[in-house]
Amino acid sequence: MAIFKVSLCLLLILAGSGFDFVSAAGSSSAEESESGEFVVTLDHSNLTDFVAKHKFIVVEFYAPWCGHCKKLAPEYEKAASILSKTDPQVILAKVDANEQNNKPLASEYEIRGFPTLKILRYGGSVVQEYKGPRDADGIVSYLKKQSGPASVELKSPEDVTSIIESNKILVVGVFPELSGESFENFTTLADKLRDDCEFGHTIDSKLLPHGDISSGGPFVRLFKPFDELVVNFQEFDVDALVKFVEETSIPTLTLFDKDPKHHPFVIKYFNSPNAKAMLFLNFTNGQFDAFESKYRDVALQYKGQGLSFLMGDVEASQGAFQYFGIKEDQVPLIIIQKTDGEKYLKPNVAPDHIESWVKDFKDGIVQPYKKSEPVPDINDEPVKVVVADSLQEMVLSSGKNVLLEFYAPWCGHCKKLAPILDEVAVSFEKDPDVIIAKIDATANDIPRETFDVKGYPTLYFKSSGGNIVLYDGDRTKEDMIDFIQKHRATVAKQGTRKEEL
């Protein structure tokens, strides 16, 4: 589900902010500049041993053909040169994740796009996403903060006031002394979640506003700008602490509109492991209060049951409408997306119908919703057009050999491949057993358990015997034709044995 969390969250926030998401995601270039002497080059043979020797290291996973990687390279190198002189030294490294022998590393670190930067702490035992800027000065500033203590000691009321911000989560540990297992576990928590919250620690509980101040600890007090404003917690197992902070720092009902103060909580919402319930409506037409009241009641009813709730303004949520393939004349509407990607839709919902529909969903009565473009009335081009509603008939149960391209309309590599795919299709025009086809993966739901599409274009070959194989050869007419001939021949000789590349 990582792709869903990142892509929809970005579409929601960036589209709502006027950001040109399509252009940014589609730009690319053919080559990457070589690094200088300060960025350490690692690969499958030495990354694990190198990381194990360091308490803090940053690794960039890149591809030589990636234009964003090329743009980052000189900034990354400049930052590495500056950070090499800091105390403590911060090491920047890189791995060519496109190189065949390094691909297991890319899988291990869940690399789903380029460039991806990972912060590795304590010999690699803690792995975090780099969420900072991509210019040299920004990288340096961000990593200096990241490599320092995650939690600051609070010794005075002014210290507390300085880190309490109205729109952020603050987590404070109170301890009789700043040592021992509870304190060490708290510092581990702060390291794990330092990107998401502010952390502080103190031996004086009287410095903290709100709540009972009689205890000297140990306990954790979490401050937040929604729901109950203060929550205390007294378990100090690291996993329990992480779960407490992650669950408590998500609002019972997350609001999404154009107000930037809500955006950090939208990100937390989509990064949570729960299924997602999303109600979209026009916040300005007088319906907000009625819907918010009923929807919040439902959110409270299902709190802690693996379902998180968001209420989004139509004006700010165009990215979500694009992602789900829904239209404004369907609002107010609810979409629920499960962790396996299945979606459920209730258009034109009334406030009094929300509770019963969510109950029907929980009871398994609601049927899944599938996003699909219309099936074309005319489909006579050499490369056939497949949509979600025709995928089963044209590909999966067609009994034919099908080379299927998953593409995005804005993708430059897809546009480059298009005339080549046309030539391949023309080569097989007189062969009734071969279909060359394409599907817009941004406008149609794809069965992720069958097709693992992590970038565009992605090509799969489905043999007439039912075997499905990822095509990772060169994108030339000759290689694609050879691949099809090879695998259809294998099918003919060996039946329906599953093939592996």
Residues annotated as catalytic (active site), given as ranges: 66, 69, 411, 414
Do residues 95 and 60 lie in contact, with contact meaning Cβ atoms separated by under 8 Å? yes
CA–CA separation, 388 vs 203, rounded Å?
59
Residue 62 burial (C-beta neighbours within 10 Å; 0-12, 13-18, 19+): buried
Do residues 51 and 120 lie in contact, with contact meaning Cβ atoms separated by under 8 Å? yes
Look at residues 324, 348, 328, 327 and name the one whose alpha carbon lies nearest to residue 336: 324
Structure tokens, 212: 């009972």
CA dihedral for 49, 52, 58, 63, sign (positive or negative): positive
∠ at Cα 318 (313, 324), nearest 5°? 105
CA dihedral for 197, 200, 204, 207, sign (positive or negative): negative
CA dihedral for 132, 26, 1, 417, sign (positive or negative): negative
Residue type, 500: E
The bridge status of strand 307-313 relative to strand 384-385 is unpaired
Please count the CA atoms within 13 angstroms of the CA of 498 that sit on its side-chain side.
Answer: 3
Would you tell me the crossing angle of helices 136-147 and 67-83 to the nearest 10 degrees? Answer: 60
- Which residues, in sequence order, are bridge partners of residue 232? 221
- Which residues, in sequence order, are bridge partners of residue 434? 401
**Can you give the length of the chain in residues?**
501
Residue type, 368: P
CA dihedral for 93, 96, 101, 103, sign (positive or negative): positive
CA–CA separation, 162 vs 388, rounded Å?
53
H or E element that contains 281: strand 275-281
The phi, psi pair for 386, rounded to 5°, reads -110, 140
Do residues 102 and 62 lie in contact, with contact meaning Cβ atoms separated by under 8 Å? no
Do residues 435 and 402 lie in contact, with contact meaning Cβ atoms separated by under 8 Å? yes
- Which residues, in sequence order, are bridge partners of residue 400? none
DSSP, res 369: B
